[in-house]
Amino acid sequence: MVEGKMGLAELKNLGMGFDRAQMRDVHIVQDGEDYLSKRHMGIWNVDRNELACIAPKSYMVIQHRYATECLIEALSSLNITAQAQLKKSRHGIQVDFDFPESKMELTQVGESFTTGIRVVSDYSQVAGLVIAARVTRLACSNGMIVNDIVKPKRIKYTEELKITVEGLIDKMIKDIITGDDKLATMVSIAMKDSVEWQALRLLTKGLFKKNYHVKEILSRIKSSEDGRVTRWNFYNAVTNYVSSAGSRLRPQIDTWLQNKAQKILKTPIAQLTEELVRVEEKKAN
């Protein structure tokens, strides 16, 4: 499920009801004998009363509520005005924070963005807390993950989690802003790279496979008078679909689509097509 945009106080209140997790012993039963695992523990979702995943005994789970509170405290300490959007999965939460006062103007291509971060906390993974940089295009409110500008960070449990998160958020915002030339270059090149509409339809089917993804993306694309579509318009169709689909997309699918969108933004259409042809040839052989 997905919640609409909210303030930090509302997010904190919602956090009180997030699922809790415990580390529990793992037993291996073999030939009627019960053995206690010496290396692994189970991450048990207490509220769902089910196993989320198996983790090393050295792992310490970060509770969704604790992670959320640390994020809110960090943003407040940095005096950042933020809006949040929450999406839940079976054992995880995904929160997109937008910072409307932290704007980035790419005058080279006539585009304006606001900065933000995406935070993923999931008991079914042992990656810890994952924080990625994101920007939102003001022209159409498309939230875009920008891993090619600022790499995602994984945070393990620590007693100083709030301080760690605060430093990371501050650095990410600065890195996004200072990476504006790289983003502007990627956008500028994508605006000039185009393909015929019929070829784009085939490329979209090859990249996204599922008919409902293909239909949604193609419905958001308009070709120019000469019947061509730029890679920038293709990219924005994908991110618009992700942004507007809401609860219909699980966080894992959201991330998969965002990764596809990033590939489109940074890869020439001719190269995308060649890669798909090679994949199809391998399947045929």
What is the bridge-based pairing of β-strands 50-56 and 21-30?
unpaired
151: Cβ contacts below 8 Å, ≥ 6 apart: none
| Rounded distance between C-alpha atoms, residue 133 and residue 117, angstroms | 4
Residue 114 tokens, joined: 């606001």
**pLDDT digit string (tens) for 205-233?**
999 989 999 999 999 988 777 889 999 99
| CB distance 83 to 98 below 8 Å | yes
- Look up the pTM and report it: 0.88
* Every domain of the chain and the residues it spans: 8-14+62-179, 193-284
- Which residues of the chain are modeled with pLDDT < 50? none
Task: Give the phi and the psi of residue 268 in degrees, each rounded to 5.
Answer: -55, 145
82-117 burial: b if 16+ Cβ within 10 Å, else e: bbbbbbbbebbbbbbbbbeebebebeeeebebbbbb
| Rounded distance between C-alpha atoms, residue 145 and residue 78, angstroms | 22
**pLDDT digit string (tens) for 264-280?**
999 999 999 998 888 77
| Rounded distance between C-alpha atoms, residue 107 and residue 114, angstroms | 14
44: Cβ contacts below 8 Å, ≥ 6 apart: 21, 22, 23, 24, 50, 51, 52
Radius of gyration of the chain (CA): 21
Q: What is the pLDDT of residue 109?
A: 87
Residues 136, 138, 144: CA angle, nearest 5 degrees? 20
Q: What is the pLDDT of residue 91?
A: 94
